[in-house]
Amino acid sequence: MRWYWAICCRFFPCEPREKFTSKTFLIMALVYKLLSGSYTLRKCPKPHVALCPLLDTRFADYCSSSLQKPEAAPGKASSQKTEEGLQEHQQREVALDITSPEEKPEVSFDKAIKDEIKDHFRHLKDDIVNHWMGPDCRPLHEVLLEQARVVWKFRGKEDLDKWIVTSDKTIGGRSEVFLQMGKNNRSALLYGTLSSEVPQDGESGRSGYCAMVSRIPRGPFETKKSYDWSHFNTLCLRVRGDGRPWMVSIREDTDIIQRKNQMHSYFMFTRGGPYWQDIQIPFSKFFFSNQGRIRDAQYQLLLDRISSIGFTLADKVDGPFFLEIDFIGVFTDPAHTEEFAYENSPELNPRLFK
């Protein structure tokens, strides 16, 4: 009973011990329920002095404060839930950062195919519009009266991407060739080392060449396109070389079979020194060759179906070389009236005389 008297003296210090008997039952009941934890925040409201006349104000405050202590548990639980929610949210953010498109891009083949098809249809639309509006969206009379046209120029890396370089390394040779932008990004520099050493493979009988070939232009859905030079009669170039002779080759785009070994070629002679030179080659001078050999039967170059142009070095002089190109174009020379520089006979080319 010591705890009982301690509680009574704590809350009723001014009253004599004889009067505690009238409050014994109520105090013991309240203390019992407090200790047993039967009062909760929802079921036990704050006691009021007017409702409990036998209780002192301090006891009511104590009961209210003691009964409100379990309120901390839901608060702690809510705070814990809040902290757990914040932690979960942070974890979600971290997960999102980990799976961000920069580090792990989402790959969708369907989307890639749809985008590719859209691009091709966009190019097809542009080609149709250009066809109705005229070449390069210009009136037809301007195109017919055009005297000169720059087909290839070198002013940036995107211009170099239109070309391919190759050498005898493809058959085991030792020649090397490189293509890069020239000084101030105003030209293309083709350089390397030529080696005529034949590879020891038992198959190759000759070697020693380096070449630079333009890529075939592509239209929508990877269809091949061609250049129409039928309104011009001369090829013009602005180059600067080291004195070596180059072979300029032009390929046609045929409808039936594209024979890569058949082409029309002519020689381009460069001079050494720091000065640029303007080279003009009439299309009538280009001769027909197959696999590097000049054919007896000659055919005129079809200027309305030009596929690509290339430059080949194969002069059998080992050592370094370079060729710098400013632009490649076509123009109309009114003084040149020759149509074809090579003769044909019925024995050599019967199809031309039917």
- Residue 286 has a pLDDT of 96
**pLDDT, greater one: 324 or 255:** 324
- Please compute the mean of the pLDDT values over residues 243-248 and round it to a whole number: 95
pLDDT band at 68 (very low <50, low <70, confident <90, very high): very low
- Please compute the mean of the pLDDT values over residues 222-244 and round it to a whole number: 92
This model's pTM is above 0.85: no
- 186 and 151 in contact (C-beta within 8 Å)? no
pLDDT of residue 254: 67
The more confident residue out of 197 and 259 is 197
- When mean pLDDT is compared across 61-70, 99-108, 299-308, the lowest value belongs to 61-70
Residues β-bridged to residue 306: 227, 252
**Where do the domains of the chain lie, and which CATH numbers do they carry?**
2-71 (no CATH), 115-145 (no CATH), 148-353 (2.60.120.430)
Reported as type and span, the H/E element at residue 188 is strand 188-194
The pLDDT value recorded for residue 51 is 42
Query: What whole-number distance in Å separates Cα of residue 218 and Cα of residue 117?
Result: 15
Inform me whether the pLDDT recorded for 162 exceeds 80. Answer: yes
Per-residue pLDDT tens over the stretch 2-29: 554 555 555 555 444 444 444 454 555 5
| 276 against 144, higher pLDDT | 276
**Which pLDDT band, with edges at 50, 70 and 90, does 308 fall under?**
very high
Mean pLDDT comparison of 101-110, 185-194, 285-294, highest-scoring range: 185-194
pLDDT of residue 7: 53
Q: What is the DSSP string of 61-91?
A: HHHHHHHHGGGHHHHHHHHHHHHHHHHHHHH
Rounded to whole angstroms, how far apart are CA atoms 247 and 116? 38
Q: What percent of the chain has pLDDT over 70?
A: 60
Task: Retrieve residue 152's tokens.
Answer: 């290839």
